[in-house]
Amino acid sequence: MDKKELRSRGWFGKSGKDGFIYRAWMKNQGFPADEFEGRPVIGICNTFSELTPCNGHFRELAESVKRGVWEAGGFPLEFPVMSLGETLIKPTAMLYRNLASMDVEESIRANPIDGVVLLCGCDKTTPSLVMGASSVDIPTIVVSGGPMLTGRYRGKTIGTSDVWRFSEAYRQGQISQDELTTAEACMCRSSGHCAVMGTASTMACMVEALGLTLPENAAIPAADSRRKVIAHLSGRRIVDMVKEDLRLSQVLTRQAFENAIMLNAAIGGSTNFVIHLLAIAGRIGVELNLDDFDRLSAQVPLLVNLQPSGGYFMEDFYYAGGLPVVIKEMLSRIHGDIITVNGKTVAENCATAECFDPEVIGSLEKPVKELTGLVVVKGNLAENGAVLKPSASLKPELMQHRGPAIVFEDIDHYKARLDDPNLEMDENSVLVLKNVGPKGYPGMPEVGNMSIPKRLLEKGVMDMVRISDGRMSGTGFGTVVLHVSPEAAVGGTFALVQDGDMIELDVENRRLHLDVSDEELARRRANWQPLDLGYDRGYVNLYIKHVTQSHEGADMDFLIGGSGDVVTRDSH
């Protein structure tokens, strides 16, 4: 059944000095000689790290994968790659997504691996692994780590989106530091990633929607024994994928990307989805642009009632039937006939899916909300586009808004100025935060959902139009325009906004306009100076020089595309 010789034979199948070296040192781990005689070698790419708490259970998960690989006649070899934890890494894990993807790409290509299992969990670990693997393009299957169990605090369910609520309540003196400390322990009470439809859950749904996982992968809680079962089954399956030579590029077609976009709208996925999907498309060589997201999301209602757009958590989503239910409901709109990693089509994989809780998973006839997932707005303020998630807005009237700008030149200016009592503002003001884009921060942090100024909060204002060239956490909410491209740091019009300028947001007409004359903008542009961030060496210097704008996926320009899986030269 082998279509061609296994690539691992280029190491373990060699005779003489080279073969000796490739095998001898491996044998110090106690592998019998026949392991090297033609079993498919399966790499298990592990993002385990105690600094990435969401992936803290991955050593155990890898063991389940290995059982499946052994059973199917493969030879599993686990290897670590750079792991990006969302909560600890400063200034933002996004700064290192491309670096981690380089580690993944080079580790796969450089080693005797015939197929690879990607163990992904926390936000950036999924896109970085899929990006890296795409640039090599060998048989690949993804296993997600699964969400945490739903948090419980004083009889109520809580999750990551409550962090923002708790901190606002604390700012207003409604809860004490002691209560906050208790809430910390109540929220993250099991292994797994954020339990809301934040970026990690969005990424887990994305890989399932792309056909890169076995069905149901996205929602099984990390602590549920069925998470280990799907890891085990994925271990079995990757061995067959190697025999079938079913590569990533056969699954990641243009249609698969279209499916992922429509399904992301249906689940109310994170805005970060846009940037990561664009970057993956760039690696695998599929044409995709921001307009595709707007066009394909436009008519899709929200079908999943999960925080931050709705009320429930990933655990509830799994018990209600999980992503296969959503895929089945969407079959009339998506491509059902394309192949996925298990060799079956999208339609076949969801054929027996059933919704067990219509409160949690709605239908096209009875959606959770009519408002769709993502909208792309353009105009002189964002010539290459900006992104907004209407379903996360707390005040739908703001979808059509004109108001005077309050400008923060960078994050420090924002922090110093937000609660300045001399600052004239009201609920019609538009908060503008510059220099939080890919180059400007650097690394495009999740600070776009700026806090509402204290004195407006006290007046009961819960939402305002906020615009930035940064991102927001997938767990954030509000009328927040993100990813403005070109960003301020490269001298886009966004860099030229000043206090009091009138800004118009018109979601229906997809418009974001700065009401300042072209002559005035030309005058301001002539005086504009680029920032000096002071990074003159190392990775960050490389990143700033090569990172693309957000509408292009914020990948490095030299990483777009792939180099395949061939390495011709031996090491000694």
Interaction site with Mg ion (CB under 5 A) = 86, 123, 199, 473
* Residue 555 interacting entry, from Mg ion, ligand FES, none, C-beta within 5 to 8 Å by type: none
Helix (H, G, I), strand (E, B) or coil at 141: strand
Closest distance of CB 93 from Mg ion, Å: 8
Of these partners, Mg ion, ligand FES, none, which one is at the site of residue 473 (CB under 5 to 8 Å by kind)? Mg ion
Nearest approach in angstroms of CB 280 to Mg ion is: 18
Which residues fall within 8 angstroms of residue 208, CB to CB, at 6 or more apart?
A: 215, 216, 217, 218, 323
In whole angstroms, the minimum distance from the beta carbon of 289 to Mg ion comes to 24
What Rg, from alpha-carbon coordinates, does the chain have?
24
Q: Which is nearer to Mg ion, 86 or 258 (CB)?
A: 86
What is the distance between the alpha carbons of residues 53 and 305, in angstroms, rounded to a whole number?
26
Provide the residue count of the chain.
572
User: 66 vs 193, which CB is nearer to ligand FES?
Assistant: 193
Alpha-carbon torsion, ordered 464, 467, 472, 474, to 10 deg: 60
Give the whole-angstrom CA distance, residue 431 versus residue 413. 12
Q: Which does 129 bind (CB under 5 to 8 A by kind): Mg ion, ligand FES, none?
A: none
Q: Which residue, 123 or 224, is less far from ligand FES as judged by CB?
A: 123
Task: Give me the least distance between CB of 128 and ligand FES, in Å please.
Answer: 13
From Mg ion, ligand FES, none, which one binds at residue 240 (CB under 5 to 8 Å depending on kind)?
none
Least separation in angstroms between residue 124's CB and ligand FES is: 9
Q: Return all residues near 519 (Cβ < 8 A) that are at least 6 apart.
A: none
**Residue 52 or 473: which CB sits closer to Mg ion?**
473
Of 62 and 93, CB closest to ligand FES: 93
**In the complex, what is the shortest distance from the CB of residue 451 to Mg ion, in angstroms, rounded to a whole number?**
17
87 binds, among ligand FES, Mg ion, none (CB under 5 to 8 A by kind): ligand FES
Q: Which does residue 98 bind out of ligand FES, Mg ion, none, counting CB within 5 to 8 angstroms by kind?
A: none
Closer CB to ligand FES, residue 272 or residue 305?
272
User: Would you say 101 or 126 has its CB closer to ligand FES?
Assistant: 126
Distance of closest approach, residue 155 Cβ to ligand FES, in angstroms: 24
Q: What is the distance between the alpha carbons of residues 525 and 438, in angstroms, rounded to a whole number?
A: 21
Asked if residue 134 lies in contact with residue 564, where contact means CB atoms within 8 angstroms, the answer is no
* Residue 38 structure tokens: 């033609």
Name 54's Cβ contacts closer than 8 Å, sequence gap at least 6: 85, 86, 121, 122, 125, 145, 148, 192, 193, 194, 200
267: helix, coil or strand?
A: helix
Work out whether the CA dihedral 125, 127, 128, 130 comes out positive or negative.
positive
> Of ligand FES, Mg ion, none, which one sits near residue 122, judging by CB under 5 to 8 A according to partner kind?
ligand FES
CA distance 29 to 77: 11
Binding site for ligand FES (CB under 6 A): 54, 86-87, 122-123, 160, 193-194, 198, 200
